[in-house]
């Protein structure tokens, strides 16, 4: 049976002492509220690029403002973009 070795040299990451009061709220760019809901965005990949018989759908989790529905741009997956009005 293979052994798993610690490649990190046995060092633990430094512990950070962060207080909730020190954290900054993330607010909606549109309405200023600070509550967001998880949602899904989908992109289609052409069958010509994938070499498969059909186009492929790729899901990505995004977060939308619970008040106005604007997409939180700060945490969009790499390569995903939205217009200034929050629409894809």
> What's residue 9's pLDDT?
62
Looking at per-residue pLDDT, the higher value among 61 and 78 belongs to: 61
State the pTM of this model: 0.65
Domain residue extents for the chain: 23-75
Give the whole-angstrom CA distance, residue 58 versus residue 42. Answer: 6
Beta bridge partners of 31: none
Give the whole-angstrom CA distance, residue 26 versus residue 81. Answer: 19
With beta carbons less than 8 A apart as the criterion, state whether 66 and 34 touch. no
pLDDT, tens digit, 9 for 90 and up, residues 8-66: 666 777 778 888 888 999 999 999 999 999 999 998 999 999 899 999 999 999 999 99
């Amino acid at each position: 049976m293979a052994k798993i070795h610690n490649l990190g040299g046995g060092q633990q990451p430094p512990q950070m002492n962060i207080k909730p009061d020190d954290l900054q709220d993330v607010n909606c760019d549109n309405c200023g509220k600070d509550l967001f809901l998880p949602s899904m965005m989908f992109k289609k990949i052409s069958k010509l690029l994938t070499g498969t018989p059909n186009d492929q759908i790729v899901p990505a989790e995004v977060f939308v403002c619970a008040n106005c529905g604007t997409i939180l741009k700060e945490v969009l997956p790499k390569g995903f973009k939205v217009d200034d009005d929050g629409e894809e």
